[in-house]
A and B are shown apart, each in its own frame.
Chain A
């Protein structure tokens, strides 16, 4: 409520009794206080985001995927991910894949949906729980990553992940992208385009490609910021987490499943 509106409301209530006027005044002041507090928190979140400071613990990066908008047969997000991260187009079942498109169908009603699945960036990641060397870790801003310097390639995390989000690199690689180092003998998965985030660019390659294709099915943003687009969308519509029964508190949410 703006000051002008609040003023107008007070003027409208002029003929009312003094006690009612008093109550409205208190209510207006109280509302002003919340607004102010909300504003202050918003500034804190935004000020702490920029690049050089590192991963911000106040932020929780996530994705919201609207399966109603996701077009069946469209693989623009997968292509964009491969291009962004220097992944070859998968030829064999063992080739690395960070994001994949799946088609699901409710058997009784035959309602089908198309959706991308990638690392769900759990708040309680099973891959981190099982990693024997501490190579799987969760960053302060909620992104689950593999530190390839410590990964020994045991693939325990591949087995622990309920979403089959992780891949193992079997063959030596060449011509990696400078911002996305990756190589043989390590496990890898979606990084939520961490190299972009650290440079202050707040969009993932998949979300960008989806918007460019005109589908707008993927939104990327800060789940902890009530004013971010992703929070607004998640507040407005019913969203679900995949395998919510596992209570892993996912960073990726799906709408329309």
Chain B
């Protein structure tokens, strides 16, 4: 089983781990259409919010090294994601301390 890095201390995910593991692709896909096409920002599910809590303290990223949050599980499951071809893998410089 992959070793999954813990989220930043003191943060609370939007749903329990079982739901997140199963549903996060659908949540993000739904959110991305609302955000890009509808201009609705600040939805409950958001890739930026995922990254804000799950970026590795060591690399500052969710996808830079094999042990980082997104990559650890996706490489284990052999699922290639292309989110990070375009999306930043690290939180904005100012958002490390606060929830976006």
Contacts and interface: CB of A to CB of B under 8 A. Distances in A.
A193 interface: no
B25 interface: no
A51 B41 contact: yes
Contacts of B91: 178
Contact of B36 (A149, A172, A184, A186): A149
Q: Which of B37, B39, B88 has the most CB of A within 10 A?
A: B39
Interface in A171-207: 172-173, 175-179, 181-186, 194, 197-199
Interface string B12-28: 00000000000000000
Contact of A141 (B36, B39, B41): B39
B39 A55 contact: yes
B38 interface: yes
Interface of A: 51-55, 137, 139-141, 145, 147-149, 172-173, 175-179, 181-186, 194, 197-199
24 contacts: A51-B41, A52-B42, A53-B40, A54-B34, A139-B38, A139-B39, A140-B38, A140-B39, A141-B39, A149-B33, A149-B36, A172-B85, A176-B87, A177-B88, A178-B51, A178-B87, A178-B90, A178-B92, A181-B86, A182-B86, A183-B86, A197-B39, A198-B41, A199-B41
